[in-house]
Chain A
Amino acid sequence: MIYWQIFLAFFIPGIFGYGGGPSSIPLVEAEVVDRYHWMTSREFSEMLAIANALPGPIATKMAGYIGYMQGGILGLLVALFATIAPSLLLMIALLSLLLRHKDSPRVKKMSVFVRPAIAVLIGILAFEFAFESAEKIGGWKTFVLAAVSFYLLEKKKIHPLYVIAGALLYGAFFLS
């Protein structure tokens, strides 16, 4: 019974959440807090605060943690399965179809038409992260940190691992 509830609680946000994991947060909250009362909304926002400070996809972190608290390891697996599987299977089916027709001029045109939109979409995300950062640490620091990171990543071709580690150290010592 509990496993079925866990499945539903994460299946619904997974299948209705367009725009990636972060956009499904309110849907997860509706299930977990409002419908099943597994957490209070205060507990939920505390969990979210920590989840946001840690790396990794947010949707699966929430699902894994809540599933584990409600149903142990099996609950964790059920919650992850419900979050990931439905949309992934759809993705694999559609892309396999696309790959089979990849030489068709029509399919080629589809990917040409969509490419500028993806560039714009990712560009908008870049600005959103920059604005969020500017709110937290101010515009100048954001600009300098972003410019230095861009230079190191793109011009010096330094692996993101070192740039991110550097930023974490900087944050721990100078932004605390």
Chain B
Amino acid sequence: MKYVQIFMAFFRSGILGFGGGPSAIPLVYKEVVEKYRWMKDEEFSDVVALGNTLPGPINTKIAGYVGYRVGGWPGMLIALFASVVPTVLLLIIFLTGLGASKDKPWVQGMSAAVLPVVAAMMAALALDFMKQAKSAMTWKGLILFTGGSFLVLQVFRWHPAIWIAALLAFAFFSGTAREQEQEKER
């Protein structure tokens, strides 16, 4: 049953994810956090954060990890299979059989019309994460970190992986004396 759920969650988010792996993040979020409740908001955003600091495709990293968390190694394989294989087969069928149909105007119309939907899903997820961030810090901290991230990513054009790694390192080494004391007691 669990394996069927894993399959369905990643089959749906794979087959509905137009615009490449990252565009499916909101769909994966819907399945993993809202529908099946395998993870809380916070853990999911940690997974996305770490996925962004590591190389390689982001979608399969998230699918593989969630599958592994929920159902061990078999869960991982099922999640990967469900998110990858159906769309690979679709591409092979299209390229070897129906190659000409990409020039048909209705196919191009379809792929154009889906972009604003992806943008809306992304915006909704960004707002969700922002709310979550607010629940863990003061307004001042939120504005500082959000503004700082925007500046670094969009204006200075740092690579996201470098910025996230820098934030993680800063958090790790910047503990106050009291926090380090707590750490030692554990």
Contacts and interface: CB of A to CB of B under 8 A. Distances in A.
B6 to A, nearest CB: 15
A125 interface: yes
Given A160-B121, A176-B106, A91 B113 contact: no
B2 interface: no
Contact of B120 (A87, A137, A150, A170): A150
Contacts of B107: 53, 172
B120 A58 contact: no
Nearest to A165: B16
Contacts of A121: 52, 149, 153, 160
A61 B87 contact: yes
Majority SS at the chain A contact face: helix
Interface residues of A, number: 94
Interface of B: 12, 14-27, 30, 42, 45-52, 54-61, 64-65, 68, 76, 80, 83-88, 90-92, 94-95, 99, 102, 104-127, 129-130, 132-133, 136-137, 142, 145-146, 149-150, 153-154, 159-161, 163-164, 167-168, 170-172, 174-175, 179, 182-183, 186
Given A51-B91, A55-B17, A117-B164, A91 B116 contact: no
